[in-house]
Chain A
Amino acid sequence: MISTIADYLQYPFVRNALIVGILVSFCASLLGVTLVLKRFSFIGDGLSHAAFGAMAIAAVLRVNNNMIVVMPITVICAVLILRTGNGRIKGDASVAMLSVGALAIGYLLLNMFPTSTNISGDVCSTLFGSSLILTLSTADVWISVIMSIVLIITFVLFYNKLFAITFDEQFSAATGMRTGLYNTIIAVITAVVIVLAMNLAGSLLTSALIIFPALSAMRVFKGFKSVVICSAAVGVFSSALGIILSILASTPVGSTIVAVQIVVFIAFSAVGKLLQRG
């Protein structure tokens, strides 16, 4: 089996998939801890649907590189969601509205202005990311790598501030932190991560890359830093394993990764229970 994997690694598209997959899931799982703890997971979910709508627009416009269209639209949606969603319930409803609206309009656009004969195939691959990660262009790879590095640096530089506003926004605001600004930064980063992660898992499954590693890590670890580190490790491990398994077994990449994450989550929950008793 090792030799089969080594064979596959000779192909540049497999190496690209692994590099991008690992970097993107690293970012997604770092961010996930903050999103889950701030009770912002639903924003990730909503944004990934918005990104589907943006993807449809990009397809209809026939731009060379989808990200040029998808990235700005998703970032704008992220800021809008955050700005309008001050009340929790109102925010919830506006995200739900945006996400189903984007799905519907996206599908409608793709049908009205078909870009290929196989619309359902295109839609399926955008939603579940079946093979997108294996067909990345060199430009896609570079965009993903650079964005991921920028995100990781931002995360490290703002780590302590992120902790402060994740734990207690009111307190941070009271000590003079510009919480509105930092929330906007979080929303923008979330949008960027989701767009990058769509190549890996498709728009329906990207939020799994964000929330699963964080939730798994929280079952076992008790400090913020250890949760963040473990979450990143889980994210990277699941994506690498998922990509390799999907190549070996010819299964869709996104769903294989999520399946791995479900298994990891169950294992971590069991370990967490055992530790609690012990």
Chain B
Amino acid sequence: MAQIICRSLTLGYESTKVAKNISFSVQRGDYLCIIGENGSGKSTLVKALLGLNPPISGEIEFGDDLRKNEIGYLPQQTQAQRDFPASVEEIVLSGCVNRKGLRPFYSAKERAAADEAMKRLDVLSLKKRCYRELSGGQQQRVLLSRALCATDKLILLDEPVTGLDPKAAEEMYSLIKKLNESGTTVIMVSHDMSAALKYSSHILRMGMESVFFGTTSEYMNSPHYLNRGDLE
């Protein structure tokens, strides 16, 4: 049983369709990269998976013990967040916010979960630091810890290395790979083709005319990849 199965999704807003015929499935432990040009509907697909913007048609099914709202999400950072006055701990803890239901305050268990998530991403030593004073790479790791607080079954990363220098980007990728190896399913939207091919197990390539879904090695032997010259 797959964690997520999408069947012939058509995505868009109200009357405008941005992508159609999208079918794919994600198994536990997969590392799926979603690639495609700007405007091919990657962000819309992310929003559909998160339940923020339901698909126009088609269905998204969750299974294998994964429920809707159990996706750890790493959004693209907004400008407002970059200078937000908050400590690292406050931000990571906010990942637990939906776990606690109507209870107003965090329990010791949730604080321990937050510590654990910070430890896994190597930001525990920054716990008391101010978020806006961290480097871009550190900020991303903090946000990823927050996503892990929400769940460690499946994480969905939207362009996680945008704006990072090559060294920080490489660190980020290897941390994500480590999480994946410890059993967390990864779905990553990426512009970075070489990293996508290097780390992923599956590729979903979105496009106006045709959509590709398969393993990474299948992708590298497909016409999409072999004829990519005319796309880039």
Contacts and interface: CB of A to CB of B under 8 A. Distances in A.
A174 B104 contact: no
A176 B69 contact: yes
Contact of B84 (A37, A170, A174): A37
A49 to B, nearest CB: 25
Contacts of A177: 97-98
Interface string B138-175: 00000000110010000000000000000000000000
Nearest to A225: B90
B97 A175 contact: yes
Interface of A: 37-39, 156-161, 163-164, 167-168, 170-177, 218, 221-225, 227
B91 A174 contact: no
B87 interface: yes
Nearest to B83: A218
A218 B131 CA distance: 13
Interface of B: 50-52, 68-69, 71, 73, 75, 78, 80-81, 84-87, 90-91, 93-95, 97-98, 100, 104-106, 130, 132-133, 146-147, 150
B80 A173 contact: no
B104 A157 contact: yes
A212 B73 CA distance: 34
Nearest to B69: A176
A171 B80 contact: no
Contact of A174 (B52, B81, B130): B52
A34 to B, nearest CB: 12
Given A37-B85, A160-B97, A174-B69, 10 more contacts: A37-B84, A160-B94, A170-B50, A170-B75, A171-B73, A175-B150, A176-B68, A176-B69, A221-B85, A223-B130
7 contacts: A37-B80, A163-B86, A171-B75, A172-B98, A174-B69, A175-B69, A224-B87
Contact of B133 (A172, A173, A222, A224): A222
Closest 4 pairs between A and B when the two form their complex, measured CB to CB: A176-B69, A222-B130, A174-B50, A164-B94
Nearest to B88: A223
Nearest to B104: A157
Contacts of B97: 160-161, 163-164, 172, 175, 177
B90 A223 contact: yes
A167 B85 CA distance: 9
Contact of A168 (B71, B75, B100, B105): B75
| Most chain B Cβ neighbours within 10 Å, of A37, A172, A221, A223 | A223
Nearest to B146: A171
A236 B138 CA distance: 36
